[in-house]
Amino acid sequence: MKFFEDIRVGEITNLGRHTFTADDIKAFAARFDPQPFHLDEAAAARSHFSRLCASGWHTACVWMRLTVNYRRREGEELRSRGELAAQLGPSPGFRDLKWPKPVYAGDTISYATEVVEMRPLASRPGWGMIFVRNTGVNQHGEPVMSFLSMVFVECRDRELRES
Amino acid sequence: MPRLHWEDFSPGQVTECGSRLITRAEIVAFAAEYDPQPMHLDEAAARATLFGGLVASGWHSCCVLMRMLTDGLIGDTSFMGAPGVEEVQWLAPIRPGDRIKARATVLETRASRSRPDMGFVKFRFELINAADQPVMTLTVSPMFGRRAANATREDEPMAPSER
């Protein structure tokens, strides 16, 4: 992860793509969200979704996985150039999570994140808070997920002070 | 026909949705798949983070809550999913061996203007640890089928376009 000082409002990061298979959709749903429309094609056909679709939590968890993968790659690139990578603090949560369209079996979702606001933390010197809008778009260009999350990011001066 | 419909919910109703032991194996398995960060994967690495030890991914908490609500409340209702989640707050970490409870409180109900067969119920869901401390709150307005609509489609479920 980049340091707080190196992040800019408006920055958009493409996190990568993921294809949701019917088997993955059902396996996730069986563990965490066992609704008929996430578990079984025939039951889904009779539901308001009309077809087997992924749990919205599944769509969001894949965002998390791709985000972790991206941050890891970014950290490795920084270190390979001899630079330091910033630490992340705990996230206090998120809001405005929307699933405007279902993710159907076979859909490929492209995930991205955009920095929408940032502020230094008076209460925790050396750390800043960034607000990011995270999105998922299907292969037809239709948004399937969006939410606003908050992350604590280390400032460069904290790293310098403590090293 | 499910036991509870939109009409059966009213503001102020509180439902306790059981408890669940969160194991180290479960925390690590979820993280390996969806959130492979050190504080969710490895005790020694987690001690070096701000959490000071292994903690569950916040997304794992969301998924556990979804499962507990399904088993303890919405499994026997005309639940139709949710178009999104208004807010999630991660207030305190869940650690291996924590026994957590889920609680659902109805905040408000409203009929759908465009869909007479369904309505929305706004809930605050909480995960609460053994010290009776909320570790997560989630505010969401899922859709539920209305009793009359379900009665007419009891024998032969119909797709939305047929209703």
Higher per-residue pLDDT: A163 or A90:
A90
* ipTM of the prediction greater than 0.85, yes or no: yes
Domain boundaries, chain A: 4-162
Structure tokens at A39: 């578990």
Which candidate in B27, B69, B70, B88 is best for mutational testing of the A interface (most A CBs within 10 A)?
B88
3-class SS letters over chain B = CCCECHHHCCCCCEEEEEEEECCHHHHHHHHHHHCCCHHHHCHHHHHCCCCCCCCCCHHHHHHHHHHHHHHHCHHHECECCCCEEEEEEECCCCCCCCEEEEEEEEEEEEECCCCCCEEEEEEEEEEECCCCCEEEEEEECCEEECHHHHHHCCCCCCCHHHC
Q: What chain A residue is nearest to B81 in terms of C-alpha separation?
A: A35
State how far the Cα of B107 lies from the Cα of B93, in Å rounded to an integer.
25
State how far the Cα of B68 lies from the Cα of B6, in Å rounded to an integer.
20
Range of the domain at B121: 6-21+57-153
Structure tokens at A23: 């088997």
CB–CB contact A68 B36 (8 Å) = yes
Residue whose tokens read 């991660």: B90
Q: How confident is the model at residue B2 (pLDDT cuts 50, 70, 90)?
A: confident
The mean-pLDDT minimum among B8-12, B95-99, B109-113, B148-152 falls in B148-152
Whichever domain contains B113, its CATH number is: 3.10.129.10
**B73 in any annotated domain:** yes
**B13 in any annotated domain:** yes
Tally of structural domains, chain B: 1
Choose the CATH number for A4-162 among 3.40.630.40, 3.20.20.70, 3.40.50.300, 3.10.129.10.
3.10.129.10
Identify whether the C-beta of residue B61 lies closer than 8 Å to the C-beta of residue B90. yes
Query: In the prediction, which pLDDT does B155 show?
Result: 41
**B129 in any annotated domain:** yes
**B80 in any annotated domain:** yes
Whether B150 has a pLDDT exceeding 70, the answer reads no
**B107 in any annotated domain:** yes
Q: How confident is the model at residue A48 (pLDDT cuts 50, 70, 90)?
A: confident
**B87 in any annotated domain:** yes
Whether B156 has a pLDDT exceeding 50, the answer reads no
**B30 in any annotated domain:** no
Largest CA distance in chain B: 59
Whether B154 has a pLDDT exceeding 80, the answer reads no
**B47 in any annotated domain:** no
Q: Tens digit of pLDDT for each residue in A72-105?
A: 999 999 999 999 999 888 899 999 999 999 999 9
In chain B, the percentage of residues whose pLDDT exceeds 90 is 83
pTM of the model: 0.91
Q: What chain B residue is nearest to A71 in terms of C-alpha separation?
A: B37
Query: In the prediction, which pLDDT does B163 show?
Result: 36
CB–CB contact B67 A65 (8 Å) = no
Identify whether the C-beta of residue A67 lies closer than 8 Å to the C-beta of residue A113. yes
Query: In the prediction, which pLDDT does A157 show?
Result: 81
* Inter-chain contacts counted by CB atoms under 8 A, chains A and B: 92
Q: How confident is the model at residue A34 (pLDDT cuts 50, 70, 90)?
A: very high
